[in-house]
Amino acid sequence: MSMSMSMTITSLNSDLHPIILIPGSGGNQLEARLTSSYKPSSLFCHLQKGTGWFRMWFDPTVLVAPLTRCFAERMMIYYHSEIDDYRNAPGVETRVPYFGSIKGMLYLDPNLKHLTEYMATIVSTLEELGYKDKETLFGAPYDFRYGLAANSHPSKVGTQYLQDLKNLIESVVASNNGKQVILVAHSLGGLFALELLNRNSLSWRRQFVKHLVTLGTPWGGTVQQMLTFASGNALGVPIVNPLLVRGEQRSSESNQWLLPNPSLYGSRPLLISTFNNKTYSALDMPQFLEDIGFKEGVEPYKARIIPLVERLDEPGVTVTCLVGTNVETPYRLEYGTGGFDAGPKVDYGDGDGTVNLISLLRLKSEWSGSKNQELDVVKLPGISHSDILKDKRALAEIVKIVTEINTGYI
C-alpha cells in the first residue's frame, strides 16, 4: 500500500460520522434474575430460581415445550391501572447487557451464531468502512417488551430508554470532535428513534443528529400483529406451539404499538371471523382485543396507544427509509369455526413479509410536499424484513448513504 493511500484511509476514518445502531423487537439480548418473590408454576420453572443473572432472550430452552411455558411466564409484563404503566412479572428482574456496544446485537445467542445472527453482517460491513465498536460504532439495545405512550401517560422503561439514548448520542458526539451521529434503526427501533427526535428540541436534533436511516420500520403497524394477538406467533420456529407464547406476546406494551393504525388502515376488513360472524378493521381494535380474550388490553390501548400513533411529526432531520417490497405479507386473516386458537387462512399482499407496504410507506404519504423535511424512500424488491440486515443490495444502499454523508455529499 502506498503512503498516499494509507494517509487517505486514515484521514477518512478520523472523519467518520459515528453510527448508533438501534435494533428492532427481539433484536438484542435480554437478561433476567429470579428473586424470592418469583412463584414458578411448575417444577421445571423452579430449576432456574436463585441462579443469578441468565440470558432470557435468546435461550434455546424456549424450544422445549415445558420450558416454553417458563420462558413465557418470565417474559410477561403487566399493566397496572393504579400507576398507568407496565412492570415485570413478580420476582423477575431484567437488564439489557452491553448498552453502548454492538456486542449484544450481533447474535441473540453467541453459542448459536448461525441460527441467531442479527446484526453481525451489517456490523462487519460498517467495520470495512473503518468503523470500530465503542469508538465510532455504537449499539443502543433496549427492553423491547416495553414501548412508549402518549405524552400524558407514564412509560417508565421506554422513557428511560429514550433518555439513555439521548445521553449516548451526546457523549458519542463529544468524543468524536462534535460530529453528529447517524442513527441506523431496524423495525421497531425506527419508531423509538423518531420519538426521540420529536421529544427533543429542533436545535438539539440538528446539533447532534445528522441523519436517520430506518430499515423496514412499521410506521403504521402490521396485519401480522393481529395474528400474533389472536393466535400467537412462533416466529417461524415449527416446534414451538404459538399458543404457549400468546399470552406473553399479548402482554407486550410494544406489541400494542404495532397493531394496525386506524388512521392508516381505516375501515378495510383486516380479519374476518366465521365462528362469531364478525369482521374487524383497524377501527375495531378495542372490540378485537376484547373478543380474543384480552380485555385487560383495551383501556391501555385506547388511552396510551391511540393518541401516540395518530400522527407522525416531521423531525426536521434528514430521514431515509429502506423498505423491502414484493414479498408476500399478511393482508387479511380469515378464521373459521375452529376459533382463534386454530389459526387463520392468510391472504397476502405487498410488503416485506412482515410489514405491509402501506405501513412501510407511511412517512412518504404523510410528509409528501413538506418544505421542512427531507425524506428519501428506497424500495428494495424481494428483500424481506429480516434479510434487509444481510442482503447485499440493502447493505450497498447503507454503505452508499454512510459514504455520502462522510464525504460531504449529503
User: Which residues are identified as catalytic?
Assistant: 187, 352, 385
The whole-angstrom separation of Cα 167 and Cα 305 is 26
Paired strand residues for 181: 209
CA 405, distance to chain mean position in Å, is 25
CB-based burial of residue 203 (10 Å sphere; 0-12 exposed, 13-18 middle, 19+ buried)?
exposed
Q: Supply 406's cell numbers.
A: 462522510
Nearest to 138 by CA among 116, 163, 171: 171
Paired strand residues for 348: 330
The region that residue 198 occupies, defined by phi over 0 for left and psi between -120 and 50 for alpha, beta otherwise, is alpha
Q: Where are the alpha helices (DSSP H) in 199-315?
A: 202-208, 224-231, 242-251, 253-257, 262-265, 285-291, 298-300, 306-309
8 Å CB contact between 18 and 138: yes
What are the DSSP calls for 322-351, one per residue? EEEESB-EEEEEEE-TT-GGG--EEEEESB
Run of H or E including 31: strand 30-34
Other Cβ atoms closer than 10 A to 48:
20
The whole-angstrom separation of Cα 236 and Cα 63 is 12
The whole-angstrom separation of Cα 314 and Cα 307 is 16
3-class DSSP assignment, residue 177: coil
CA 269, distance to chain mean position in Å, is 25
Burial 217-252 (b: 16+ CB within 10 A, else e): bbbbbbbbbbbbbbbbbbeeeeebebebbbbbbbbb
3-class DSSP assignment, residue 234: coil
The whole-angstrom separation of Cα 335 and Cα 115 is 32
